[in-house]
Amino acid sequence: MLNRVVVTSVGIISPIGLTAKTTWDNLLKGNSGIDQISTFDTNNFETTIAAEVKNFDPIEYFGKKESRRMDRFVQLAGVSTLEAMEDSQVNINSDNATRISVMIASGIGGIITLSEQNEVLFDKGPSRISPFLVPMMLPDMASGQISMMIGAKGPNYSVVSACASSGDTIGLAYEAIKRDDVDIVFAGGSEAAICPIGVAGFSACKALSKCNHDPKSASKPFDIKRDGFVLGEGSAVLVLEKLDHAINRGAKPIAEIVGYGASADAHHITQPAPGGEGGARAMKKALDQASISQNDINYINAHGTSTPLNDKFETMAMKSVFGNQAYKIPINSTKSMIGHLLGASGAIEAAVTALSIKNSMIHPTANLESPDPECDLDYTSGHSKELDINYAMSNSFGFGGHNTSLIFKKYE
């Protein structure tokens, strides 16, 4: 018999909060974390805005020496993990360490460190390169360093599937617990790519919004005036746990995960498949694994990037899966306020989905003022709303044609 898997806590650090509670409260208020980039000179850049994590000092968490040996994406992952661990009250010791796993994804890894060390190479020569360059830039290093930090000795790896990375990670963590490989997984994602080469690269492929004059309204998923996504940074980690294990230690689940579906578009390196065909297959797989029908879903946290093709094709995909029921399901986009966290977006949106179920509330999709006629579903514009949620879906799609869908349910 397969194990049931529950979420017993979440940790979040985001452009609108250094904790899960602050992030959640600001989402419900519709507050945006998008502003002018403050970490480097954006002169000559086509896009000068991003969603930065502000007022964050890693030294307060890790000390000066350790902080210098971590890329920013690892620092952010460490903070969200420590919050999730404290909230879950998981105690790791010699008796249970091998049954506790860490799986933290990153789509890009330590691009800030790589960018900075490239400058050192060209300015000062190869002898001045940091010996920590390679371990700081590797995408798996958040997962590796966190396992050392908390003493977890179970399976440890990092999934890379672009912007679906942490959605896939949570799905694989769910399956590992379900088949009894481990009892607990610290599963999530982290990303910190707001640096000159990161912004210039996404700008070069015409993915970023150029709404520099009004940053707060730049991310406008499903709106006719949307012109690209806003780059964000941050991390989210969910504690996934075998239900029996959680009950035995007195933990209180906030949601249950019951379905995971993944697919490939096999179409284009950046554009989704026409009609969202690949995303629709991922959603259908998740519904099948959860053994529920499309009529059971009460809420969808959409990928909702604010790019012209993604929002259109995701809408088409939801219509193909849910039929007329699609018009009755409340949908929102967390990216409307925190930007696109790339490989970490699936994790933070999964955490938000779990919190939505726990609190019977969903946040608004910000900046949706002139809906695209081709995006004609209920995207929760305006204000947050109370909603009793039995089953919820969270979607993540990535460059390269990666599609992931997760289904959560109210714990009973």
Active-site residue identified among 245, 303, 363, 402: 303
How far apart are the C-alpha atoms of 117 and 181, rounded to whole Å? Answer: 39
Q: What are the tokens at 36?
A: 């002018």
Using only the alpha carbons of the chain, give its radius of gyration. 20
Quick check: helix, strand or coil at residue 36? strand
Q: What are the tokens at 2?
A: 């397969």
Q: Could you tell me which residues are beta bridge partners of residue 103?
A: 157, 187
Q: Read out DSSP for 297-361?
A: --EEE----S-HHHHHHHHHHHHHHHGGGGGGS-EE-THHHH-B-GGGHHHHHHHHHHHHHHHTE
Instruction: List Cβ neighbours of 259 (8 Å cut-off, separation of 6 or more).
Output: 285, 286, 287, 288, 289, 290, 292, 405, 406, 407
Active-site residue identified among 195, 211, 340, 363: 340
CA-based nearest residue to 104, from 401, 407, 393, 343: 343
How far apart are the C-alpha atoms of 359 and 123, rounded to whole Å? Answer: 53
CA-based nearest residue to 142, from 154, 130, 159: 159
How far apart are the C-alpha atoms of 393 and 396, rounded to whole Å? Answer: 10
How far apart are the C-alpha atoms of 76 and 79, rounded to whole Å? Answer: 5
- Please check whether residue 68 is in contact with residue 108, taking contact to mean a CB–CB distance below 8 angstroms: no
Active-site residue identified among 163, 195, 211, 375: 163
Q: Which amino acid is at 322?
A: F
Residues 343, 350, 109, CA angle at the centre, nearest 5°?
15
181 alpha carbon, distance to own chain's centre: 24
Q: Could you confirm whether 163 is annotated as catalytic?
A: yes
Quick check: helix, strand or coil at residue 39? coil
What are the catalytic residues? Answer: 163, 303, 340
